[in-house]
Chain A
């Protein structure tokens, strides 16, 4: 089992060294600072679009929502309009809860056996960890927009202010980065420590975790420990975003490691499980209304099939049917 996380860890370490040596020793600043980031963003955009288009190419032959509450029925029976939606509005609300609040994960329980009885406990930690991870990552991403926009928009400054609400230390600690690292470490620990989860985990599960640990780690290191030249970095990033890319002097190699990790994550995204971000929107058990008996769903490849007709059945059993006094269509 360990081969999965050892190889993932090794891969990330090697990638980090590549970027470090490439820029520190070989002077490949342009490769790691310009070419690879551009390439990665292209791969991400094209790859993600192609993946979603590939999913969308396959039809949805049947309407198969998983219903998680009372369905639409008689007027006086209260329908659960969110967990068992029969209208588009209901589906939208259901998807909203699913995508933004991880509704299904919130239900998580843990089964155990105690004194000859099976017990179930509400298990909230995976939900908390997942939510903390995704939202801190989003906040970090939004904050980083300050590197790509000049002047820095007011809303991003607000996010930053809120993020630094606790005003600990100098430079002020931004909560999101710390939470991100903590959440990723929690998700990793889960995979390593829990026997069942460890058993199902693949290298593809550990690799993005280590990669994000690398991203968050280098990011925190740059902000709180290394004296990186923020002005030079902004010059680099503004160059990238305005297509006048050049690598200014004074950009620390650790910046390139950070940037390379991010590039790898972008390029890796469309070919990996990270596409769950898009998949959730196309999941037929969640994004369809349970109105099957009200509105006919059409299957584009609905086959014409020969079935055993009544006439064939009667031919088979006519005499017995007549004898038993059952009505028949054709007398013998």
Chain B
């Protein structure tokens, strides 16, 4: 990054002189996500596949593009009460304005949630309200032009659907909902981004975002097991696509692919080994994440359908889901509605503690943090938290588990049992007030790195606070996107702070039956204090 942090934080948030309707979006290089490739759209059967670039003047829209948007808008107003109510009730009080991480980080007024929504609302007023038709601009209405489409593309891909604004809105207006609708409308014209559509098409075919084929998926997991054996001396043999297993475990494929998510995957495997869980992994349903959430409700449903489909085929009793943010929004708020009822599964009951998960009695899928917290509460795990004593840990609440679920104290309980030094970030930046990593909703792509660093600034700034105050050197999280994007964010804003999944810390603290003395952590780094290593505590 050319810009230094101390320069980037000098944010000018003075609005321009011109009315926002007259300011054109900045679509220079580095300010937009690369568009999706024709082959991905063709594979998915989505409209208007073509070669194009957001930097081009001509976006090669279909000839009747205005009609397509108008009809698409009308259809969605008929299908979603949320959209209608959110179009009509905003009073522009501005309470949401400085709640958005992208506004705080860029100062761009169109990143205020209220104005982001106005981008869509202005067209709604023009097309669907009497006042807008008569009074035009005075009523905040404007005609749909190609520049408006470009503006939508720019700003609805500068929203991570984190829902922080909706916590503060006196009417609960949820920009995530508006962004989802706007992206669906753009999709109708063939406007979408590579970083979302490529995973979606991969996921459709291979079962996961990264296009990992079955044999490779198995190899990767076996490779983790070799590492675990080297670290602990215990050999683990997980099963794949095994019929008759009690539990199906599904986690984001990012955990199989990239550090530090991989260490969390090792943590899951060790945990299940420690308690002797009868579970299986699936190469077909090998993706917990669901970029359909960032595409359209139809795509979300199609990708999500695989979970129940596979659970039924394998004949498991229930499903456990790994650590992932947006995955859990889908599982908690959409899955049962879209692909339920899951009457072929049983109400989740921990085979180890006997706890019945009443909170998941219909969906029949539980979060690994719920499962592990219950195990710890019942003293079913042998833990040595001192193995994590070289870490001073803070916890980043992911947007979706916080604001679309309320999974807040389960991961904290686990953390406090697997490490001895845990410090909270300031209250305005955690739990339901948590700040996005800046790269959610499919924006974790390299070409917009500056935007991502700006969007992640409020999160990083809170980490910096505890880094300076308590010496925090590890940021724990329960989200695969976090694990992929927080490391570069930390390197930029708060060098010296690492990123870990919750179950990596569990794996490190966990004492397996028959294991040898640990000299390394799951990253194969020497443990301080082991083998004569000096503990610099």
Query: B363 near A: Cβ within 8 Å?
Result: yes
Query: B240 near A: Cβ within 8 Å?
Result: yes
Bound state CA distance, A58 and B365, in angstroms? 30
Bound state CA distance, A140 and B221, in angstroms? 70
* Residues of chain A within 8 A of B213, CB atoms compared: 317, 320
* Residues of chain A within 8 A of B461, CB atoms compared: 117-118
Cβ-closest chain A residue relative to B400: A67
Bound state CA distance, A272 and B428, in angstroms? 33
Interface residues as binary, A194-216 with B (CB distance below 8 Å gives 1, 0 otherwise): 11111111111100000000000
Bound state CA distance, A176 and B531, in angstroms? 76
Most buried by B among A1, A204, A285, A324: A285
Residue pair B432, A68 in contact (C-beta under 8 Å)? yes
* Residues of chain B within 8 A of A107, CB atoms compared: 167-168
Which residues of A (211-236) have their CB < 8 Å from a CB of B? none
Bound state CA distance, A299 and B413, in angstroms? 35
Which residues of A (255-304) have their CB < 8 Å from a CB of B? 271-273, 275-276, 279-280, 282-286, 290, 292-299, 301-303
Which residues of A (29-66) have their CB < 8 Å from a CB of B? 51, 54-66
Bound state CA distance, A133 and B363, in angstroms? 44
**Assuming the A-B contacts A55-B81, A73-B359, A199-B15, are A307 and B214 also in contact, with contact meaning beta carbons closer than 8 angstroms in the complex?**
no
Query: A155 near B: Cβ within 8 Å?
Result: no
Bound state CA distance, A73 and B355, in angstroms? 11
Interface residues as binary, B342-366 with A (CB distance below 8 Å gives 1, 0 otherwise): 0000000000000101111111010
* Residues of chain B within 8 A of A303, CB atoms compared: 298, 301
Residue pair A67, B405 in contact (C-beta under 8 Å)? yes
Query: A4 near B: Cβ within 8 Å?
Result: yes
Residue pair B402, A279 in contact (C-beta under 8 Å)? no
Query: Interface size (A, Cβ < 8 Å)?
Result: 105
Bound state CA distance, A321 and B169, in angstroms? 51
Stretch binding the partner chain, chosen from A75-83, A178-186, A238-246: A75-83
Query: A250 near B: Cβ within 8 Å?
Result: no
Stretch binding the partner chain, chosen from A19-27, A141-149, A158-166, A308-316: A308-316
Residue from the list A61, A272, A293, A324 in contact with B79, Cβ < 8 A: A61
Residue pair A205, B241 in contact (C-beta under 8 Å)? no
Residue from the list A62, A72, A116, A326 in contact with B241, Cβ < 8 A: A326
Query: A88 near B: Cβ within 8 Å?
Result: no
**Assuming the A-B contacts A111-B98, A200-B109, are A275 and B337 also in contact, with contact meaning beta carbons closer than 8 angstroms in the complex?**
no
Query: B140 near A: Cβ within 8 Å?
Result: yes
Residue pair B88, A55 in contact (C-beta under 8 Å)? yes
Query: A170 near B: Cβ within 8 Å?
Result: no
Residue pair B95, A60 in contact (C-beta under 8 Å)? no
Residue pair A59, B81 in contact (C-beta under 8 Å)? yes
Residue from the list B11, B84, B332, B464 in contact with A292, Cβ < 8 A: B332
Bound state CA distance, A271 and B404, in angstroms? 32
Query: A74 near B: Cβ within 8 Å?
Result: yes
- Kindly provide the distance from the CB of A77 to the nearest chain B CB, expressed in whole angstroms: 5
Residue pair B402, A285 in contact (C-beta under 8 Å)? no
Residue pair B309, A309 in contact (C-beta under 8 Å)? yes
- Kindly provide the distance from the CB of B136 to the nearest chain A CB, expressed in whole angstroms: 11
Query: B313 near A: Cβ within 8 Å?
Result: yes
Bound state CA distance, A329 and B19, in angstroms? 62
Query: A247 near B: Cβ within 8 Å?
Result: no
**Assuming the A-B contacts A64-B177, A293-B360, A299-B338, are A280 and B89 also in contact, with contact meaning beta carbons closer than 8 angstroms in the complex?**
yes
Query: A96 near B: Cβ within 8 Å?
Result: no
Bound state CA distance, A108 and B88, in angstroms? 22
**Assuming the A-B contacts A195-B14, A196-B15, are A126 and B214 also in contact, with contact meaning beta carbons closer than 8 angstroms in the complex?**
no
Query: B227 near A: Cβ within 8 Å?
Result: no
Stretch binding the partner chain, chosen from B50-58, B253-261, B369-377: B369-377
Residue from the list B166, B283, B334, B410 in contact with A62, Cβ < 8 A: B334
Stretch binding the partner chain, chosen from B110-118, B152-160, B506-514: B110-118
Q: What size tier do the contact residues of chain B reach?
A: 35 or more
* Residues of chain A within 8 A of B478, CB atoms compared: none
Residue pair A200, B92 in contact (C-beta under 8 Å)? yes
Cβ-closest chain A residue relative to B303: A307
Cβ-closest chain B residue relative to A56: B81
Residue pair B337, A74 in contact (C-beta under 8 Å)? no
Residue from the list B109, B130, B219, B337 in contact with A296, Cβ < 8 A: B337
Interface residues as binary, B166-202 with A (CB distance below 8 Å gives 1, 0 otherwise): 1111111110010000000000000000000000000
Which residues of B (214-257) have their CB < 8 Å from a CB of A? 214-215, 218-219, 240-243
Bound state CA distance, A50 and B517, in angstroms? 72
Bound state CA distance, A296 and B431, in angstroms? 26
Residue pair A62, B432 in contact (C-beta under 8 Å)? no
**Assuming the A-B contacts A67-B432, A305-B305, A324-B214, are A296 and B171 also in contact, with contact meaning beta carbons closer than 8 angstroms in the complex?**
no
* Residues of chain A within 8 A of B177, CB atoms compared: 64, 285
Bound state CA distance, A70 and B406, in angstroms? 5
Residue pair B370, A310 in contact (C-beta under 8 Å)? no
Bound state CA distance, A113 and B104, in angstroms? 9
Query: A130 near B: Cβ within 8 Å?
Result: yes
Query: B205 near A: Cβ within 8 Å?
Result: yes
Query: B77 near A: Cβ within 8 Å?
Result: yes
Interface residues as binary, B64-88 with A (CB distance below 8 Å gives 1, 0 otherwise): 0000000000000111111111101
Residue pair B406, A199 in contact (C-beta under 8 Å)? no
**Assuming the A-B contacts A58-B79, A67-B432, A296-B336, are A200 and B362 also in contact, with contact meaning beta carbons closer than 8 angstroms in the complex?**
no
- Kindly provide the distance from the CB of A309 to the nearest chain B CB, expressed in whole angstroms: 6
* Residues of chain B within 8 A of A87, CB atoms compared: none
Residue from the list A84, A126, A282 in contact with B406, Cβ < 8 A: A84
Query: A105 near B: Cβ within 8 Å?
Result: yes
Interface residues as binary, A126-144 with B (CB distance below 8 Å gives 1, 0 otherwise): 1000100000000000000
Residue pair B114, A290 in contact (C-beta under 8 Å)? no
Residue pair B139, A66 in contact (C-beta under 8 Å)? no
Bound state CA distance, A51 and B131, in angstroms? 14
Query: A323 near B: Cβ within 8 Å?
Result: yes
Residue pair B89, A64 in contact (C-beta under 8 Å)? no
* Residues of chain A within 8 A of B95, CB atoms compared: 104-105, 108, 126
Query: A120 near B: Cβ within 8 Å?
Result: yes
Query: B204 near A: Cβ within 8 Å?
Result: yes
Query: A327 near B: Cβ within 8 Å?
Result: yes
Residue from the list A78, A102, A198 in contact with B409, Cβ < 8 A: A78
Most buried by A among B168, B374, B461: B168
Bound state CA distance, A4 and B138, in angstroms? 7
Residue pair B94, A196 in contact (C-beta under 8 Å)? yes
Query: B341 near A: Cβ within 8 Å?
Result: yes
Cβ-closest chain B residue relative to A8: B138
Query: B440 near A: Cβ within 8 Å?
Result: no
**Assuming the A-B contacts A80-B406, A130-B93, A320-B214, are A199 and B20 also in contact, with contact meaning beta carbons closer than 8 angstroms in the complex?**
yes
* Residues of chain A within 8 A of B359, CB atoms compared: 71-74, 86, 293-294
Bound state CA distance, A255 and B404, in angstroms? 51
Cβ-closest chain B residue relative to A104: B170
* Residues of chain A within 8 A of B240, CB atoms compared: 326-327
Residue pair B337, A302 in contact (C-beta under 8 Å)? yes
Q: A residues touching B (Cβ–Cβ < 8 Å)? A: 1, 3-4, 7, 51, 54-74, 76-80, 83-84, 86, 98, 102, 104-105, 107-111, 113, 116-118, 120, 126, 130, 190, 194-205, 271-273, 275-276, 279-280, 282-286, 290, 292-299, 301-303, 305-310, 313-314, 316-317, 320-321, 323-327, 329
| Shortest Cβ-Cβ A-B pairs, 4 listed | A71-B406, A279-B89, A324-B215, A285-B172
Between-chain CB contacts (< 8 Å), 19 pairs = A63-B333, A66-B174, A67-B404, A71-B408, A74-B355, A105-B95, A105-B170, A111-B104, A117-B465, A118-B458, A194-B94, A275-B88, A279-B85, A279-B89, A284-B85, A286-B172, A313-B207, A320-B215, A326-B240
Given contacts A203-B138, A317-B213, 18 further A-B contacts (CB under 8 A): A51-B88, A61-B80, A64-B177, A73-B409, A104-B167, A109-B98, A111-B98, A196-B94, A196-B98, A205-B91, A276-B89, A279-B171, A293-B332, A293-B363, A294-B362, A296-B337, A307-B302, A307-B303
